[in-house]
Amino acid sequence: MSNKPHDQDRDTIDFGFEQVPKQEKVNRVADVFHSVADKYDVMNDLMSFGIHRIWKKLTIEHCSVRKGQKILDLAGGTGDLTAKFSELVGDDGLVILADINDSMLKVGRDKLRDKGLIKNIEYVQANAEALPFPDNYFDCITISFGLRNVTDKDKALRSMWRVLKPGGRLIVLEFSKPQYSLLNKAYDLYSFHVLPFMGKVVANDSDSYRYLAESIRMHPDQNTLKQMMTDAGFGDVKYYNMTGGIVALHLGFKF
């Protein structure tokens, strides 16, 4: 698992276990999510045995969202968090579902509109490294299972800090490093053998799910990401391991 936070110092970047030119990663990640968008929700349930719903519920609780607030659900994909935020902020609030991938954004928009959620939600195709929003705009930003796919994570974290209001919070929900050796071994077996097979059977795409497994291993571990958030300007940064550290929730504030 990667412990190198300074992606901006390198000419190449990881795409799973492969090193590619930085400008190439964006397009290759886009191809992955164009491929999996239609089956994304189904595969999430299968891959996590439904546990991702508990992880997201805990994420919502740590956001402490109130009526009238502005929320950015970054890399929000098919809108699971956006749907709940929409209820919490009420008619006077605003939730922006942002994703760099137009296929994922379309799936999310259609899903939320089918649920009748249209009043306080906007959709923006955006790169996390250069968010197209004013300074000090959002009360809370979440990025759920998206940061590991960002090319320059340090730049993205600084961009998130810029658009947060003073007193606002960033919540990062992401796969991380399991804390127990036996769990780590079982997780590797599952990720590199079972997961690509499920991707082939359900989504007819084993390669994309092999990349997703590799991208998890290349993502910074808990303490490295905590330091990256601190370096980007966030204060009182802490993290909570879930499911033995398979997933970690990082929380930081803008003071």
- For every residue of 19-34, DSSP letters joined together read EEEHHHHHHHHHHHHH
Q: Within a 13 Å sphere around the CA of 241, how many CA atoms are in the beta-carbon half?
A: 12
Nearest to 125 by CA among 105, 146, 155, 145: 105
Nearest to 129 by CA among 246, 25, 21: 25
**208 marked as part of a ligand binding site:** no
**130 marked as part of a ligand binding site:** no
- For every residue of 167-183, DSSP letters joined together read EEEEEEEEE---SSHHH
Sorted by sequence, the CB contacts under 8 Å of residue 59 that are 6+ apart come out as 81, 142, 144, 171, 173, 249
**176 marked as part of a ligand binding site:** no
10 Å Cβ neighbour count for 119? 10
**241 marked as part of a ligand binding site:** no
Q: Within the chain, how many helices (H) and strands (E) appear?
A: 10, 9
**144 marked as part of a ligand binding site:** yes
User: How do strand 12-15 and strand 18-21 relate by DSSP bridges?
Assistant: antiparallel
Q: Which amino acids are annotated as binding site for S-adenosyl-L-methionine, given as ranges?
A: 78, 99, 127-128, 144
Q: Which amino acids are annotated as binding site, given as ranges?
A: 78, 99, 127-128, 144
